[in-house]
Structure formats: structure tokens, C-alpha cells
Amino acid sequence: MNLNLLNNLTSDTNDKQSIQKHKLIKYLFNLGPSSVSTLCEIMEMSTPSILKLLLGLIDEGWIEKKGYGLSIGGRKPDLYRLKDKKILILCIDIELFHTKIAIIDNNYNFVLDVKTISVPISKSRTDFFNILHTHLEDILKSAGIQHRQFIGCSVGMPGLIDAEKGENYSYFLSDDENIPLTAAFEKMLNIPVVIQNDVNGSSMAEFTHGMAKGKKNVLVLLMDWGVGLGIIMDGKLRQGTCGFSGELGHMPFVENGALCYCGKHGCLETVASGNALSEMAKEGILLGKNSMLTNLSNEELERIEPALIIKAANKGDQYAIQLLSNVGTHMGKGIAVLIQLFNPELIILSGKIAGAKQYITLPMQQAINTYCMTQIREKTTIVSSELGENSRLLGYAATGIDQFLGAYIKKIKKLKK
């Protein structure tokens, strides 16, 4: 469906017009419903030229009129957008113990319900890929969708990720074929693949669909099993030289603290993450703390989910409330540093731990008040994400489709030379 349609845009048109059509599709994907005047400005083209492109894409089934824009007196302008399901992308969200699979279109519609499979992230690729591939094939077969219908696949996961080189330096390290992780995914799926850090997916979701939309300077704090930071500065997602920015969880935080999995002692993640929360809960229960969590089975206790602790807190469990308060205090101290470094207008809390709401935000705010300069602190608003547990998949779709369309335009330009 999708790649073939993109290819068809090059037929019956001259080289320049073909490239302009693809650029217009890319702009409409990123902008959403847009007026002719907006498209003229962003593409630096005249109104007749833009209208000619739009009418051509309408005839080819790519674009439709969708509502009216704002007007300062006079007739409201028509808005144009891409039709549903013109571009499909496969999105895979890999967590520590679960992996989510979704198919999303160019208007961010979930084509299928999100599928969750119980496969833990691994140092080794072989077993993980075998399980993932089996589930993917079953999902695509039941949906009647073939690999060639995707523009590509966008994969997000925790770890130290260099998206340009296509490598994760924390997970999926072993590989007998000695090829980058992206290439391994592409070999399995037979479609183009991009990989990215999970916090960047959360940040892009907030930037395109959430509270960061339309804002310039925002920090997105992903509080899951680990702790990550998404940095939106001057209206752009900033990822650093190699894509390694935002490793907040591995800042030295506790003198002579516990050993972190990164190899250092006393990282923020050892006291303010889902992993830390789980470990603290398990240790306390084994020492005889009075809590409804003591009713958990040995298997549940071994890998106690943050959601269970939050659930206990919501039922008034004082031990669970104290655990969350401790995490909030430590996180608040870390956030105070971020506020003074970046002076953001907004900080968005996302991830599993953010679901604790007041049990974590109240002690967090108290710590921020203690450790942050008042004049800077008062310029920052802290909120919890409202996008829901599948929001990262929207971020993966946004980044993936944009990159694949950009790569496709470069390919056309190269072929036309």
C-alpha cells in the first residue's frame, strides 16, 4: 500500500513536481491540517503552485479537505490534511519485562489494539528476536497486513542508544553476525528501521500531542524502571552529540551509595526509580514491615511492580506511601538541579512512577522548594502527563514517519540527478 503509493507519486510528473509533492506530504504529516497560506509560507511557494500540488494529491487520493482554520474577519480558510491510513508504521516499545507492538497511521490512529507480549529485554538478541518475530508474524497475519505496506518500523527501548549508528550500548549486545542493532531488526523485518531511546519517544509524544505542544522550553522526566530526561529547548528535541543526552538517572547522587547497574555507586536511579522502589519494598517486607504488600506471593515479591505499590498507597498503606515519598524527595532534589540548569517553562512527569501523583509530587515539590532558587523555581510549572500508558508509541510514530519520509525525499533527489 504505502511505499507503492509513494513510488506512484513519481509517475506522470516532472522531477521537480515529484519532489515537491513528497515535501508537501512530509509537511502535512508534521503540521497536521493546514491552510494554503501556511503551506505557501513553509514551502516558500506561490498560492497557485501550492493549489496545483494540493489538487494533484487530492486526485491521487492522498489529501482531503478537513475543516476550516481561524480567520480574523472574512471567510475561514479551508484546511487540508493527509487521508487516514495512507502511511502505516510499525512501532515497537521494548520495556524491561514487556514489549508493546502497535500499527499507527499518518494521522496517529491506532490501526489495531496495542499488543503486549511478556518478553524481557535482554543482553542477547537471538532469543528476544525469535520470540518477537513469532508474535509479529501472528499479529500481521491476523490483521491481513504485509511487511511491504509499512513505510518502516520505529523501535524504542531503554539504554544508551546511538540512533545514527543504530546501536544500543546497554542491551542486545551479543551478536554473532557483528552487525548494528538497527541492521539486525531490518534483517528480521525486511523493512527500514530506526531505533531511539524510550525517553525521546515520550518527549516527542508530549511535543506533538501533549502538554509540550506549542511550547519552547520543556523537560520531560520519564520515571519508569529507570530515570530518563527528554530535553526540548528552543522548540526542538535536543539529543546531544551521539544521542546520549538526558542520562539523569546516572548522575552521582548518594555518597558511597548502592551499586548501580551502570557500574558506578550512588546514581540517582539507585534511590529514585522503579527499580529502586521495587528493591526497597522487597527489602522492607522481608524485614517484617507492616504492609498489605506482605500478601504478595514470593514470585510477585521478587519482581514487584511499581503499580502494585501505588495501588497499596491509594488504599492507605502507610509503608507504600512512605516508599513513594522517599522517591519523590530524591527526585525533587534532582529536579531542582535541572531547573537551575535549564530554566524550563514546564516539566512533565511521565512513566509508571508518575502515576503515583500526589504521593510523589508533594514531597517532590517540598524538595524543590528546599534546594532550588526561588526566582528560577517560580518560572517553572510541574505537571503529570495526561497521554496515557501507550503515549510513547505516538512519539515513535512521529519520529519514524518523519525520518522515513525525509530519507525517501533524499533518495528521489539522488535518483533524479
pLDDT tens digits for range 98-129: 999 999 999 999 998 999 998 888 877 888 89
Q: Is 361 helix (H, G, I), strand (E, B) or coil?
A: helix
Side chain identity, residue 241: T
In whole angstroms, what is the distance from residue 91 CA to residue 193 CA? 10
CA–CA separation, 147 and 163 (whole Å) = 22
Query: What pLDDT does residue 393 have?
Result: 97
Tell me what pLDDT residue 2 has: 45
Tell me which CATH code domain 211-386 carries.
3.30.420.40
Instruction: Of 29, 43, 12, give the one whose Cα is nearest residue 408.
Output: 29
Read off the amino acid at residue 319.
Y
pLDDT value, residue 3: 47
| 369 vs 271: CA distance, rounded Å | 20
pLDDT of residue 261: 83
pLDDT of residue 1: 39
Q: Where in the chain is the domain with CATH 1.10.10.10?
A: 2-82
- The domain over range 2-82 is classified in CATH as 1.10.357.10: no
Dihedral of the alpha carbons of 100, 103, 106, 110, in degrees to the nearest 10: -80
Q: Work out the angle between the directed axes of helices 358-371 and 318-342 (0-180°, nearest 10).
A: 40
Dist. CA 333–CA 368, nearest whole Å: 6
Residue 300: partners with Cβ closer than 8 Å, 6 or more residues away: 308
Q: Are 392 and 156 in contact (CB under 8 A)?
A: yes
Asked if residue 219 lies in contact with residue 338, where contact means CB atoms within 8 angstroms, the answer is yes
Residues of the chain with confidence (pLDDT) below 50: 1-5, 10, 12
C-alpha cell recorded at residue 140: 500481521
Going by C-beta distance under 8 Å and a sequence separation of 6 or more, which residues neighbour residue 263?
A: none
**Cβ atoms within 10 A of the Cβ of 37, count?**
12
Closest by CA to 12, choosing from 3, 21, 1, is: 21
Q: What is the dihedral of CA 296, 114, 179, 190, to 10 degrees?
A: 150
**CATH label, 88-201+392-416, candidates 1.10.8.100, 3.30.420.40, 3.30.310.80, 1.10.3720.10:** 3.30.420.40
Task: Give the three-state DSSP class for 231.
Answer: strand
Measure the CA–CA gap between 322 and 25, rounded to whole angstroms: 51
DSSP sequence for 87-140: SEEEEEEE-SS-EEEEEEETT--BSSPPEEE-----SBSHHHHHHHHHHHHHHH
Q: Say which DSSP state 11 is in.
A: T
pTM: 0.90
Name the segment(s) of the chain with CATH classification 3.30.420.40.
Answer: 88-201+392-416, 211-386
> For 312-366, how does the pLDDT look when each residue is reduced to its tens digit (9 = 90+)?
999 999 999 999 999 999 999 999 999 999 999 999 999 989 889 899 999 999 9
Let me know the angle formed at the C-alpha of 312 by 309 and 317, rounded to the nearest 5 degrees. 115
